[in-house]
Amino acid sequence: MLPELKFGYVGAGAYLPDKVLTNDDLATIVDTDDEWIRRRTGIRERRILAEGESILDMAVGAARAAIADADIDASEITDIRVGVNTWARFPSLATQVQAALGLEGCSAADVSAGCAGFVYAVEEAYNKLYVERIRDHRAGTALIVGVDGLSHITNWQDRSTCVLLGDGAGAVVMREVDSGGILAIRTSAEGRHGQLLYCESALEAQWDPSGPGPFNHATQGVRPYLHMDGRKVYGVAVKTMVEEACGVIDIFNRDNPSPIGVEDIGFVYPHQANLRIIEKVAARLEIPLDRVYTNGIECFGNTSTASIPIGYVDPAARERAAVAGDYEIDVAFGSGFASGAILRQVGSTPTS
């Protein structure tokens, strides 16, 4: 039998651009208004990268805040995983975070799983920590970042999408803990829903029958944009998030002499996609809305992979008195309908 090892968050941090884009600001560039946006999405304002500010800046800012919160030296980090969808270049963003932190030798890689990228990145980091602890008897420390600059792929004339999207980053430090920690992780995907939420390709091959031709931007200088079939996304998203939340509890309950139910969940951090989706998921799970994080969607909009870890340090969530033993769930869905959930238990020194 494998030994019981506990891995959990020992620090969390976030980075949000200073530039605020309100609903009234949006009304000056597209046919919309504050009442229309709030009624359909619950969003009041969002943060947008300023000129000269980058996705890397956000990722590094959140990483440094999480490292400081964990009260460790950055040199203790053995693995970096970054959930990101808008870093359209290489080297990977994770390696550039590593360089910015002045680290050498630790592993570093990006994870692309739509807005569920943070959950997938946590799963990868958790599995690596566990395997290396068992196989190599080596204790590791992981830095997991969720970051996206959705303003890079926003069509600001498309009212159906531009009102939703914001920029931001969140991060956690994860290592072996004495109490609490991650109890179960579940991830899955339904690629058949790929056309419901996608971004255009930035490049296309121009082939000459006589030989290979050059690669050019597909739209000759026009950015690739995010596209979404909002009505269909809503239905699939609600169903998916409910299934993931219940599914991760089922995983924990397998062969567990003390099974738990949804009624035992003290707090939920759902991906901040749309307030109506969050409300519907909470209703289906029969979890009171005051036990569900919603401030992120109101104040920061849909920040994709960043929305869950931003919630960990948002005062609107942290003012809730979490006590040792509380169960919490993180649940997300995203493009490709990659989705996932994490079941955690608050330890003796809660960080969320």
Nearest-angstrom CA–CA distance, 253 and 237: 24
What is the DSSP annotation of 277-299?
HHHHHHHHHT--GGGB--HHHHH
Residue range 260-290, pLDDT digits in tens: 999 999 999 999 999 999 999 999 999 999 9
Nearest-angstrom CA–CA distance, 77 and 104: 10
Beta bridge partners of 267: 328
Lowest mean pLDDT segment, chosen from 3-7, 176-180, 204-208, 223-227: 204-208
Q: Which of 15, 33, 16, 36 is nearest to 24 (CA)?
A: 33
Q: Which residue has the higher pLDDT, 140 or 204?
A: 140
Q: What residue ranges do the domains of the chain occupy?
A: 7-178, 183-201+214-345
- Decide whether 7-178 matches 183-201+214-345 in CATH topology: yes
Q: Which of 94, 92, 66, 67 is nearest to 80 (CA)?
A: 94
Average pLDDT of the chain is: 91
Nearest-angstrom CA–CA distance, 1 and 217: 54
CATH of 7-178, one of 3.40.50.300, 1.10.760.10, 3.40.47.10, 3.40.50.2300: 3.40.47.10
**pLDDT mean over 83-101:** 95
Query: 273 with 115: CB under 8 angstroms?
Result: yes
Instruction: Out of 115, 162, 199, 299, pick the active-site residue.
Output: 115
**What per-residue confidence (pLDDT) applies to 10?**
97
Instruction: Out of 23, 85, 274, 302, pick the active-site residue.
Output: 302
**What per-residue confidence (pLDDT) applies to 255?**
84
The number of CA neighbours under 13 Å toward the Cβ of 71 is 1
Has 115 been annotated as catalytic? Answer: yes
CATH of 183-201+214-345, one of 1.10.3720.10, 3.40.47.10, 3.20.20.450, 3.40.50.2300: 3.40.47.10
Has 302 been annotated as catalytic? Answer: yes
Instruction: Out of 106, 155, 271, 299, pick the active-site residue.
Output: 271
* Cis bond upstream, residue 91 (ω within 30): yes
Binned at pLDDT 50, 70 and 90, residue 227 comes out as: confident
Binned at pLDDT 50, 70 and 90, residue 63 comes out as: very high
**pLDDT mean over 125-136:** 95
